[in-house]
Structure 1
Amino acid sequence: MTSEDLYPVSRLAAAQEATAKAGLDALLLTPGPDLRYVSGYEALPLERLTCLVVPASGEAYMMVPRLELAAAQASPASRLGVEFVPWGETDDPYAAVAARLGGAAKVGLADRMWAMASLRFRDAMPGTEQVLAGTVLRELRMRKSPAEVAALREAGAAIDAVHRQVPGFLRPGRTEREVGRDIAEAILSAGHHSVDFVIVGSGPNAASPHHEVSDRVIQAGEPIVVDIGGQLHNGYCSDSTRNYCIGEPPAEYTRYFEVLRRAQDAACAAVRPGVSCESIDAAAREVIAEAGYGEHFIHRTGHGIGIETHEEPYIVAGNDEPMEPGFAFSVEPGIYLAGRHGARIEDILVCTDGGGERLNNTTRDLVVV
């Protein structure tokens, strides 16, 4: 799997076509996932403007600080055949983009564009309406190519390898932070380029879905939620949650963990082309609600994943987007009893012609250490 497979030059033409279809004059893509998706260039997010200008018609070009020109030319963006327009320290690149666009009525700004750059573009083009580029690029980014699915499968296998090591990091008397440090090292050793997040929630901290880590000392008999993810060198992300306990867990926890297992299985089984995103959320939520834990499932069932850990489509009530082959997303229902403990089971799935393929394959059972 090469950079050309994951970041094909055809994406630029697809982005231009989508820009025109949306009635925009251009996309302005600064460093971040939108720029990387279209060009393959992982540009540094700095105060000096780097911006790929994708007009609805005509030739795209990239404004780039002169001192970063060589890096841009050495990046996958060079395969696009776009003009690199270097600018010097005393130049105004925002004014230069405005002049070349020639009074654009409406432009799409990269979703992760810094406010500093957005406001500078607004000053340079006071009569131009600004919207999010994501309204245009979402249709492209949601539909993963076979190469992208292969990259996500690789990421899933890498994070699975880390979860297999987690029991060896857990013992009474260690802090969440100490365990988290070991996990972060394992994420990098398993082939990730970077660690995006490490959640180690023990005891009552397991009832906080985005707890991360603390100096709390882990005790025997406490459930532990471990939610981890990172990014591979190719830019694609992993994300998986498993549950552990040092010694026997509380009986109450065991009861609702079995409910959670059934809910996650039900949501995964509901995945197939044509069903709505919200129906997958409902499949998990119905099982949990019928068991009396509905009020303790406090977040959506899932999120899309690709070159961002969280991207579209979102698996949540109100999203009637129909599933299509190539959609990749998490299925991660949770039950959280505030002040006591909690659990979440998360796999990444990809929608296929025949249903849903799980990209995480470690045990979903509670692992008792």
Structure 2
Amino acid sequence: MEALRARLGRATAAAAEAGVDALLISPGSDLRYLLGIGGSSFERLTCLVLPVGGTPVLVLPKLEQPGYAAVPVGELGVEFAPWVDGEDPYALVRKALKRTDRVAVADMMPALHNLRLREAVGGDQVLAGPVLRELRMRKDAVEVAALRDAGAAIDRVHARVGEWLKVGRTEAEVGADIAAAIVAEGHELAEFVIVGSGPNGASPHHSVSDRVIRAGDVVVVDIGGPLAGYNSDSTRTYVLGEPEFEDVRETYAVLEAAQRAAVEAVRPGVTCAEVDAVARRIITEAGFGEYFIHRTGHGIGLDVHEEPYIMGGNDLPIEPGMAFSVEPGIYLPGRWGARIEDIVVATEDGVESFNNRPHDLVVLPA
């Protein structure tokens, strides 16, 4: 509860500093960050009104109010403004605002509500994302602990992949077993399961297919999901027996060196672009630059992908509490691919990894 109160206070202060009169937050990860519950967005409006210098108000359908019973509104100083069908919820939002010259609206608010709020509230409307992401990028101790737990849970799933990844099974069959294990380890759901075998491993966002896994296949397994709201995301690369292609081990050694060096480069003051450059330089100097086709990493927390993004051109300095993936990959079209991914957090003087499974190419029985 103390963490939520602090976040509401920081959000209000950030809004004032950004020159906006209020934040209008619809259900989603921003609402979960501020109130501890994400809610769901339907045709009926739910909106947290967070005015600068005023009382926070949660406008919501009365029939949805029981779903927010766990929100400690009294301790947080938040008021409920329930409404029933036939009433105008947009007028309730307008009533909760002290000023409406410039308000910031949640990035993912449905147009169904955004357009009607524009009519009811008036004034200039901007995105709330630039205000809130400055807060959400810097994880507090509660969030760091949650990400640490999620990382340990997904490590335990990777430790068991050899039970399911076998010659003669399809990617889909392996993926179903992995998804069940993710949930068994405490995740709310398996947000994504990538089992990219053979040439499918050269497609970074391949999911699963009916391709039958063969001896010699290199297999990329990228898995994760939310645990207590905070996401895991980790990739390891496996091979069934002796690799089909002679260049696998030598190429994988380049990838392993790049990923290790990029993690070691993380510390406060280093920019996101500089971390990306460390991994990219090693891969490029080895002759595989054109086969590293995505950024080195993405922020993670209540969303799987959020700020900061570890990529060229992003000169944002890394600060303590910033959590993100470090996941270079090499993808050889039509042949095979590989990726190594850990979630890390910048500390006061370096970096902590939330994923601690071995990084070497995992050899499974053919």
Same fold (TM over 0.5): yes
Query: Does the aligned pair in 2 maintain the 1:19–1:136 contact within 8 Å?
Result: yes
Corresponding residue of 2:35: 39
Query: Does the aligned pair in 2 maintain the 1:64–1:72 contact within 8 Å?
Result: no
Corresponding residue of 2:70: 74
User: Equivalent residues in 2 for 1:17-56 (5 A)?
Assistant: 17-56=13-52
Q: Hey, what's the Cα distance between the residues in 1 that align with 2:280 and 2:36?
A: 38
Deviation at 1:102, TM superposition (A): 5.9
Corresponding residue of 1:245: 239
Deviation at 1:124, TM superposition (A): 2.4
> 5+ residue gaps in structure 1?
none
Deviation at 1:56, TM superposition (A): 1.3
Deviation at 1:129, TM superposition (A): 2.1
Corresponding residue of 1:104: 100
Distance 1:267 1:139, change over 3 A: same
Among 301, 305, 313, which residue is 1:310 paired with? 305
Between 93-102 and 150-159, report the one with greater CA deviation: 93-102
Corresponding residue of 1:117: 113
Deviation at 1:256, TM superposition (A): 1.2
The 3-state SS of whatever aligns with 1:192 is: coil
> 5+ residue gaps in structure 2?
none
Q: Hey, what's the Cα distance between the residues in 2 that align with 1:79 and 1:229?
A: 34
The 3-state SS of whatever aligns with 2:143 is: helix
Q: Hey, what's the Cα distance between the residues in 2 that align with 1:172 and 1:9?
A: 52
Distance 1:79 1:177, change over 3 A: farther
Q: Hey, what's the Cα distance between the residues in 1 that align with 2:273 and 2:73?
A: 37
Among the aligned pairs, what percent are the same residue? 59
Q: Hey, what's the Cα distance between the residues in 2 that align with 1:334 and 1:40?
A: 35
Query: Does the aligned pair in 1 maintain the 2:231–2:301 contact within 8 Å?
Result: yes
Between 293-302 and 190-199, report the one with greater CA deviation: 190-199
User: Are positions 1:89 and 2:85 aligned together?
Assistant: yes
User: Equivalent residues in 2 for 1:114-193 (5 A)?
Assistant: 114-125=110-121, 127-193=122-188
Query: Does the aligned pair in 2 maintain the 1:275–1:322 contact within 8 Å?
Result: yes
In the alignment, residue 181 of structure 2 is paired with which amino acid? A
Query: CA offsets, 1:49-73, max 9 Å, x none?
Result: 1111001121110001011122223
In the alignment, residue 100 of structure 2 is paired with which amino acid? A
Query: Does the aligned pair in 1 maintain the 2:196–2:207 contact within 8 Å?
Result: yes
Among 50, 55, 60, which residue is 1:59 paired with? 55
Deviation at 1:75, TM superposition (A): 2.9
Query: Does the aligned pair in 1 maintain the 2:73–2:79 contact within 8 Å?
Result: no
Among 316, 328, 337, which residue is 1:342 paired with? 337
The 3-state SS of whatever aligns with 2:85 is: coil
Query: CA offsets, 1:190-246, max 9 Å, x none?
Result: 1111211100101111011011111111111010000000101x2111000000111
Query: Does the aligned pair in 2 maintain the 1:29–1:52 contact within 8 Å?
Result: yes
Q: Hey, what's the Cα distance between the residues in 2 that align with 1:110 and 1:292?
A: 43
Q: Hey, what's the Cα distance between the residues in 1 that align with 2:110 and 2:94?
A: 18
TM-score (norm 1): 0.95
User: Are positions 1:280 and 2:272 aligned together?
Assistant: no
Total equivalences in the alignment: 363
Query: CA offsets, 1:275-324, max 9 Å, x none?
Result: 10100000000000000000100000001111111111110111111111
In the alignment, residue 133 of structure 1 is paired with which amino acid? A
Query: Does the aligned pair in 2 maintain the 1:103–1:128 contact within 8 Å?
Result: no
In the alignment, residue 117 of structure 1 is paired with which amino acid? H
Q: Over the residues paired in the alignment, what is the CA RMSD in angstroms?
A: 1.4
Q: Hey, what's the Cα distance between the residues in 2 that align with 1:214 and 1:197?
A: 14
TM-score (norm 2): 0.96
Q: Hey, what's the Cα distance between the residues in 2 that align with 1:52 and 1:330?
A: 30
Q: Hey, what's the Cα distance between the residues in 1 that align with 2:317 and 2:232?
A: 24
Query: Does the aligned pair in 2 maintain the 1:34–1:111 contact within 8 Å?
Result: no
Corresponding residue of 2:265: 270
Corresponding residue of 1:321: 316
Corresponding residue of 2:193: 198
Query: Does the aligned pair in 1 maintain the 2:230–2:303 contact within 8 Å?
Result: yes
In the alignment, residue 56 of structure 1 is paired with which amino acid? V
Q: Hey, what's the Cα distance between the residues in 2 that align with 1:18 and 1:102?
A: 17
Deviation at 1:268, TM superposition (A): 0.5
Query: Does the aligned pair in 2 maintain the 1:41–1:76 contact within 8 Å?
Result: no
Q: Hey, what's the Cα distance between the residues in 2 that align with 1:304 and 1:78?
A: 32
Corresponding residue of 1:351: 346
Query: Does the aligned pair in 1 maintain the 2:154–2:224 contact within 8 Å?
Result: yes
Distance 1:202 1:329, change over 3 A: same
In the alignment, residue 286 of structure 2 is paired with which amino acid? A
The 3-state SS of whatever aligns with 1:124 is: helix
